[in-house]
Each structure stands twice: as structure tokens, then as C-alpha cells.
Amino acid sequence: MKFFNNLKERYMSNNLFLAVLAGIIAVILWLAISLTQYPSVQKTIEHIPVTIDISGSTASQNGLSVIGCDVEEVKVELLGSRTQIGYLTNENLTAYFDADNVSTTGERKLTLKIKSDSGIKYEIKSVTPSKATVFFDKMDTREFNVVPLTPNVKIVDGKVKNPDEYTCIPSQVSITGPSAKLDLIDKCYAVSNKEMSLDTSYVLSGAELQLYTEDNVLIDQSALKSNTTNFDINIAVRTQKKVKLSAAIANAPANFNPDTIKFKLSSDAITLACNNSQVEIPDTIDLGLIPLYEIKPGFSRTFSIEKSLEGSELINVSDLESVVVTIDESEFTEKPLTIYSDHLKISNPPDNSYEYSLLTQQVDVTVVGSAESIAEITAEDIIGEVNLLNTNITEDQFNQSIIFSCPSFDDVWIATNSKAAIQRTKAEKKSSATPRN
């Protein structure tokens, strides 16, 4: 009793003490009333992350993956016990969606749900946003060919890139990603924007992979993964030159003026290249030889470019595969003549053990030339020679080509491939008489 009296005398007369005591009593009363009259409270929690884990779901069992989700975090309104709900934060709550009803690729609107491993009981009043747009697709891996692209690499004059050896290392890339994304890939480029001027072959390092659609739209690679991202580009440089084309006359007599015939070519030039820097590309390429006797009004002959370059290191880089050679018919006229045996002769017999004689007594020929010369020429102006030089003769009777010439005219020729029949007979040995004494 004495203690309480002392306490009363010491503190009850102190106003500050009374104010503090009153506050404590008020809090205790508020807590008692709150816990008994309002046991549940509402709490708002923001920035709760959305997890994208579909393992064990129907979507996962069908080989699907989540390619995209338009919601990253949510806000939730919770109801729960005043003494427990206060412990819930965005660190012990997770938002998720249920993929058990998803079995095919495509876009889905899925309800967002809340879960917690805290063990605290609560009631969800609302989730904002309440749904997420989720895109499902199957992951796939495909191989693509890679094409080099070096827009700032220049080649010096007289040199060009060899397209057959303008390649990437590696030449293929393996890309993994959503099948729908892979379907968009139409072209794969190894791109280098380095600036340089080349006169010889070069390997350019550090090219990066770029992917394009069929409409040449650059594809975002964030959802894709390739087995390599760095490429080397091999730039093979070779010599290239535009050269003239020509055709030459064969089997023309010595006095014939070759400028009389001017050939018309369907293409008079071609572009050639050579990978060997030591080989010089000529200024002119001869398509081939045309025997003089083949040339007459209406003449036309086709030459293969490939055959003309056969045996050389030169490469045809034009689209030209063949050339047609003709003449201007208006410049020439023709006349038929008959050449008799007195204007035919045999030259260069191979040995003296045989005698050779002409069985052919006359030959019909066509003479071609300028109108002025053709008007003047006669059979008397034409000589036919059967040249047996380097001829392999195995029979006593054989045929041999006749080479015609017109000594008095240098602008006419015989447009006939004639042969003469030749007879070979053993030469008689000359006997020498021994004088008598």
C-alpha cells in the first residue's frame, strides 16, 4: 500500500507521464478492437514478376516453348490476416500462367495467377493486368548457306573478283530458334563493312552474320542462336580484260589479198579472265581458220568460244557462248568455170621411184570475187596445183585436193573443194651401156 502511495505521489502528478500512459493505453485498445472487430485487411503489392516456366505442362509435353509474353510484372490486391499478410512482398510472391490447355503453336490469352511459398494464407482480390498474351512455338535447328557481302571492298582496274572463289568460311551456319522465326529466313549474309582496295586475293576476317527475309527486311536475331557469329571472307582476285575476236583465212594462195574478205562477226569482242597472274591476256582471240574455198555468197559459220579457248588458262566470263561469222554478200559475185588438165599440175612428188600422172582431165569450179574482176577472169587465168608434199601414199591410185590460184588477180578465189584423181606407176630404170674395146 505504501508502494502505490509512493508511485502515485511520484508520477501521477507528472503531466508528461500521464500523456504517455494514455497513448499506450489507446494503442492497446485499438489493437484489441482491430483484432476482434476487423481480423482481415487488404494489401496492395506491386512489381510482382511473371515467371515463364511451363515445365510439366501440356504445352511442354508437346514440344512447345514460350517465345514471348507481353506482361513482365503485375500488381495484386490481397486480403488476409492482419498479423500475417504484412509479411508478403513482391519478393515472396510470383505471378504465372497455366499452359496445361495449350497444345499447338500460336498466340494465347492466358489468365495470370499468383502463388507464394511463404506459407501465409491470403485471398486474391484482383490481379492487374489479369491476362497475358503468350506466344508458343516449337524450337528447331536448321542449316543455312552463307553468302559473303563486302560493299566497301573495291577491286583495282584490270582486276575483278572471281565469283567462284568469293566464299565464306564457314560456308554454312546452324541456327536454332522458333520455327516461325526460322521460316522467315531467306538469305544469310556474312557482312563486312571494311573499306579496302584490292589488286590480289585476300582473306577478310571478322564478318558478322545478318539474316534477311524474302523482301530484304533485316531479321531481329534476339530469339535466335547460331553456332557461329564470326566469318572469314575469301576474296579471290583475278585479271580480266575485254579482247577482240577475229577469224582467219586458211589455204589461200600467196598472191591473194586477205583484206579482200572482211568478216562480219555477231559479236566482235568478249571479256576474258585468268586466275594466273603470270599469264598475259592477249588483245585478240582467233576463233579459228576458215578455208578459202568455203567462202562464197551466203557463207555462215558458227564458232564455239569454249573450243577457241581450249588448252589455255583463259576463262570466258561473258554470256557469249558462240559467234557467227558471215560476209557481206553485196561486195562479191560468182562465176562458174571449167578448168582443164593443161592448167592442172602435180608438185613435190615424194620420191623418184614413182611417176605421178593426172587421171582427172577437167574440174568445174566456182570463182568468187569483186564484180569487176569476175567480169574479166577466164579459165585461162586459173591454175590448179596438186601438192604431194608430206602426203602418205599407200595406193597406186588416189585422190588429192587441188589448190587453185589466180596469179593475175588478187581479189578472186575458187570457192570449190575439188579433188583430182592421181595415178602412181613405177618409174623405169635407165640402163647404161658398157662400151666395147
CA distance 5 to 312: 131
CA 302, chain centre distance (Å): 32
Shared fold status for 240-329 and 333-426: yes
Q: CATH code for 240-329?
A: 2.170.120.40
Segment 107-116 shows an average pLDDT of 93
Does the domain at residues 333-426 carry the CATH identifier 3.40.50.1000?
no
* Average pLDDT of the segment spanning 130-138: 93
Q: Are 110 and 153 in contact (CB under 8 A)?
A: no
Evaluate if residue 145 carries a pLDDT over 80. Answer: yes
Which of residues 27 and 269 earns the better pLDDT score?
A: 269
Contact 209, 233 (CB under 8 A): no
418 pLDDT more than 90? yes
Note the pLDDT of residue 31.
53
The band of 437, judged by pLDDT with boundaries at 50, 70 and 90, is: very low
33 pLDDT more than 80: no
- pTM exceeds 0.75: no
- pLDDT for residue 362 is more than 60: yes
- pLDDT category, 20, cuts 50, 70, 90? low
Give the pLDDT of residue 302. Answer: 96
276: pLDDT confidence band, cut at 50, 70 and 90? Answer: confident
Give tens-digit pLDDT for 241-252.
999 999 999 989
Segments making up each domain of the chain, as ranges? 40-137, 146-235, 240-329, 333-426
Of 193, 178, 95, residue with least CA distance to 142 = 178
Contacts of 360 (CB under 8 A, 6+ apart): 341, 344, 420, 421
The chain-wide mean pLDDT, for the chain, equals 88
**pLDDT of 17 higher than 90:** no
Q: What is the pLDDT of residue 435?
A: 54
Identify the CATH number of the domain defined by range 40-137. 2.170.120.30
Q: Please, are residues 159 and 198 in contact by the beta-carbon 8 Å criterion? A: yes
Average pLDDT of 253-268? Answer: 93
